[in-house]
Chains A and B, each alone.
Chain A
Amino acid sequence: MLKPIKLFGLFARISILNEVQYRANFFLQVLQSSLSLGTGLIVLSVVYSYTDNLGGWSQAELLAVYGVFVLMSGLIGSLVLPNMWAFMEDVREGRLDFTLTKPEDAQVLISVRVVAIWRLVDVVLGLIVLGVAITRMGLEASWWLAFAFAATLIMGMVLLYCVLLLASILSFWFVRVWELMEMMQSIFQAGRWPVGIYPDWLRLGLTYLIPVAFAVTVPAEALTGRLTPELLAGTLLFTIVALVVTRLIWKWGLRNYSGASA
């Protein structure tokens, strides 16, 4: 059970060593992240200059949703997405063969290989926004709140990992799936707002098809005291099912992989 964590630590160290060679990239990332954060905040302030309530969420609460969104984008962007791109590239180029011959589980190997450390800037910015939102909401800290938030955040991340991996696995059958990945990333943008405001058909899609709801809205609900124990249990169940299904489809997909290095 500890093996994947150790592997992750090892690969993370290599990634960090690799990336700190290019320190200018850090400043560029700070610039870009601040820019998109600034735009996002302007958008929020424009909306709230006309109304003080959006689908039952106050301005401070929506700021919390946005903070979670930025935080989650950073986590996925640094830990999950780069691995998925690398994996798809490997399938296309036939390099996956090398991974398969290694004495570790291939799914673990392809999932922990790369850490884009500069994207962690978004994690920091997201935490700052969250901090401001929490102060404005006048929230009293409690262990239950902290636990519920951390738990839903991790589960949300796992769910996004599952969906992104499922999309990447499609490259076993169709070599070119990056359009699909791009589409999923743009749909993720819908998470800037609580999914409750969307019409039913879109909300269902954002909950079960591309789990933006679980990744952003549910952690924000946890933070604003909207999370019920039932919803928490449901999220846990859904996460476990998603992990098992992803694992099964991964194995099935692997059987379909014919290699390309011959």
Chain B
Amino acid sequence: MPRVQGFAQRVKTNLQVYAVGGRIAILERLQYPLASLMFMVNVLIEPIIYLVVWSSATVAQGGAVGGYTAGQFAGYYIIWTFVRQFNLAVGPDNFNWRIKNGTLAGELLRPVHPIDIDLAWNLGFKVMQVVYWIPIGVILWLMFKPEVNPQAWQLLAFPIVLLLAAYVRFFVMWLVGLMCFWTERIDSLIELYFAAELLFSGRLVPLEIMPAWAQNVAGYLPFQWTFYFPIELLLGRVTINEFGIGVFAQVAWILAAYVGIRLIWVRAVRRFTAVGA
């Protein structure tokens, strides 16, 4: 039986786990610099495609599409690449892999919750991604000449919103990943999840440009708080009211996902049968 710990003790233990896990992830990234570079290209090709498509569309339309100039599109997608480094999360398919090859069996034996292991690892991973991003961000900035005009408060608020965005995405994805305990055939579900994210998060295109039905649907989903909201904030297109609503929504989604994880995790672990020696 694990020792019952006080709250302060638990916080201390968790912080230690994050520090160690984060360090391991950083070392892993440094060990395979070439793999990290290729991963970066993987992440970057997507926004560059959108950026080029929308720039071509603005050229064809004589300067602006749906209230965005070519420079604002450039700004949108360059900030996109930065936000993306932060909101990288542990994909739902990761659970499938962990269950199938038995890694999870080992992790369950540790006195640390797997979500803490993931949070720690994800943290270190992000730190390195941001470091790798800096030179690429500079190049993109020089190449596409973005228009980005945040006010002082928007600039100050951005780190908070970015952090919240990262954790909305992390917790929601972790929750979706728990489905792997019930079915092995989760690929289609994951595909559906990412298709929804693509359309309703502002990942594909600023939500304002999407048709009205998509904007309505997006209102009921967590996705826009992970891409659209932080990007628009730094672009300088968010009012103080919208900022308040956005932060509230982010916190609410994090709490909802967290409660969901707490409820489902207990049942999921009960269903789990260990594989491996």
Contact = CB atoms under 8 A, between A and B. Distances in A.
Contacts of A176: 35
Contact of B56 (A31, A42, A55, A187): A55
Contact of A35 (B34, B54, B188, B205): B188
Contacts of B143: 199
Contacts of B60: 51-55
Interface residues of B, number: 33
Interface in A176-225: 176, 179-180, 182-183, 186-187, 189-190, 192-193, 197-199, 202
Contact of A39 (B38, B49, B56, B199): B199
Contact of B57 (A24, A43, A54, A183): A54
Which one of B38, B65, B187, B204 has the highest number of Cβ atoms from chain A below 10 Å of its Cβ? B38
A197 B211 contact: no
B53 A47 contact: yes
Interface string A38-65: 1100110011011111110000000000
Contact of A183 (B41, B48, B185): B41
Chain B residues touching A, majority SS: helix
Chain A residues touching B, majority SS: helix
Contacts, number: 81
Given A179-B38, A180-B38, A190 B49 contact: yes
B61 A50 contact: yes
B188 A39 contact: no
A32 interface: yes
A189 B57 contact: no
Contact of B185 (A28, A197, A202): A28
Contacts of B38: 179-180, 182-183
Given A31-B188, A199-B52, A50 B199 contact: no
- The size class of the interface chain A forms with chain B is 20 to 34
Contacts of A55: 56, 60
Nearest to A193: B53
Contacts of B211: 46, 49
A70 B60 CA distance: 26
A2 B53 CA distance: 44
Interface string A19-45: 000001000100110011011001100
B24 interface: no
B2 interface: no
A49 B61 CA distance: 11
B41 A187 contact: yes
Given A35-B188, A183-B42, A187-B45, A46 B61 contact: no
Interface of A: 24, 28, 31-32, 35-36, 38-39, 42-43, 46-47, 49-55, 176, 179-180, 182-183, 186-187, 189-190, 192-193, 197-199, 202
Given A24-B185, A50-B57, 11 more contacts: A31-B188, A39-B195, A47-B54, A47-B57, A54-B57, A176-B35, A179-B38, A187-B45, A190-B45, A199-B52, A202-B48
